[in-house]
Amino acid sequence: MTVGTQMQQAIAGVQSAAATMKTFSLETQDQNAKKDFEQIAQDLENALQTLQQRQKYIEQQEPQFKQQ
Amino acid sequence: MKEWMEILIRSLGLFFLAFFFVRIMGKKHPGKMSTFQLVNYIVIAILTALIAAKVIPSFRLGLVALAVWIFMPMLMDFLAIKSKILHGLIHGKETVVIKKGKIMEENLKKAKLTGEELIRELRAKNAFSLADVEFAVLENTGEVNVVMKNDKKPVTAHDLGQKVAPQTEPQTIILDGNILYDALNNFGLNEGWVKTQLKGMGVDLTNVFIGQVDSSGDLYIDLFDDMIQLPQPTVKEMLYASIEKSQADFMKYALETKDEKAKKMYADNARKLETLMKELETYLLH
């Protein structure tokens, strides 16, 4: 498994987690929990952006790993 | 006839007469009338008062004068609707006072508007700096309307290149704890729907002061009891989050599976959901 693929897997995982947090924050009635979930979702979105930038960089450096 | 009786009858008669004619003369707001229309209304008011108080002794002669002032403007309005030239003659034309950011001093003089007045009118339109004004026109009601320079206009969704979902006006369907059936029917909803929605929020109908439905079918309510915390309608956001999650899951499965066929299927569907998300974003998130 190449670094590129691992990166993609990580991205998909984070994306999924972020979406889960968003659903939780919308579902819960507890205002504190809502805020916490929103915060986590936001953090994950930020992480996602960093990872996506990193992935672009990897693809530039190692074009042979680029997934079809 | 006793004098007070006569004045009473005159006043009552004129009260209803004036009420009726002012109603049919048009729906213009007093502040938006042209100067002559204002004069006309004042003359009607004074004539009515004078006849009612018997300052004009002859009731009939008074009515003749009143009729002229009531029917002439109606006739002129009628002619103005029929003919464009007469409309210009009767209602006057608007005057351009600022063009391409430059004040037209001659037009200002013609309209008998001083610089101070112009600036005051511009301020009323939130144009505090003359440099921001591209175009301004003096309407025949004395109002100045302003077009700001392009870079000083408020930003719209169009400027940002963002699509927004079409929105119709929200309908008020609950007022003071009562369901308004007309509005409800306009939206193609019924009482059962309202009851289900309220039950879902855990609220009783009698506790609702105002309830409104927007075009996407979200119910927003305000309660008499402000201590109760209400869940905000989040149906659309929920839907979007679920789609987002499914899409991410498909991506993950596509990467994890060893089966080439399944990999392709997951990746295809993930891509489909991604395009769907892009299309729905304007409708679900804004």
B85 and B29 co-located in one domain: yes
* Residue B232 pLDDT exceeds 80: no
Sequence-ordered strand ranges (E) for B155-228: 171-175, 178-179, 208-213, 219-223
Per the structure, the count of domains in chain A is 1
Domain boundary among B64, B89, B114: B89
Inter-chain contact A23–B245, Cβ cutoff 8 Å?
Answer: yes
Structure tokens at B208: 């609702």
Domain holding B264, by residue range, is 236-285
Residue A21 lies in a domain: yes
- Per DSSP bridges, beta strands B133-138 and B95-99 are antiparallel
Q: pLDDT tens-digit profile of B182-215?
A: 888 887 888 888 888 888 888 888 888 898 888 7
What is the mean predicted confidence (pLDDT) over A21-39?
88
Query: For A34, which residue in chain B has the nearest alpha carbon?
Result: B231
What is the mean predicted confidence (pLDDT) over B64-89?
86
The pLDDT assigned to B233 comes to 66
| B133: nearest Cα among B145, B120, B115, B146 | B146
Q: pLDDT tens-digit profile of B3-58?
A: 888 888 888 988 998 888 888 877 777 667 777 888 888 998 999 999 888 888 88
Structure tokens at B250: 């498909």
Q: Which ipTM was obtained for this model?
A: 0.73
B256 and B217 co-located in one domain: no
The pLDDT assigned to A66 comes to 62
- Which strand ranges, in their side-by-side order, compose the sheet holding B171-175? B178-179, B171-175, B208-213, B219-223
* Residue B105 pLDDT exceeds 70: yes
Structure tokens at B3: 């004098």
pTM score, whole prediction: 0.53
B189 and B265 co-located in one domain: no
Residue A9 lies in a domain: yes
Distance from CA of B249 to the nearest CA of A (A): 6
Distance from CA of A58 to the nearest CA of B (A): 17
> If phi over 0 gives left and psi between -120 and 50 gives alpha, with beta otherwise, what is residue B259?
beta
Per the structure, the count of domains in chain B is 4
Domain boundary among B89, B105, B134: B89
Q: What are phi and psi of A34, to 5 degrees?
A: -55, -50
Task: Report the percent of chain B where pLDDT is more than 90.
Answer: 9
Inter-chain contact A8–B255, Cβ cutoff 8 Å?
Answer: yes
Residue B158 lies in a domain: no
Residue A68 lies in a domain: no
Q: pLDDT tens-digit profile of B106-126?
A: 988 888 888 898 899 899 988
Q: pLDDT tens-digit profile of A11-25?
A: 888 988 998 898 888
The pLDDT assigned to A49 comes to 93
Distance from CA of A48 to the nearest CA of B (A): 12
Inter-chain contact B252–A5, Cβ cutoff 8 Å?
Answer: no
B11 and B85 co-located in one domain: yes
Inter-chain contact B229–A31, Cβ cutoff 8 Å?
Answer: yes
Residue A64 lies in a domain: no
Of B229, B238, B247, the CB nearest to A26: B238
* Residue A65 confidence class, pLDDT cut points 50, 70, 90: low
Chain A residues with CB under 8 Å of B249 CB are: 12, 16
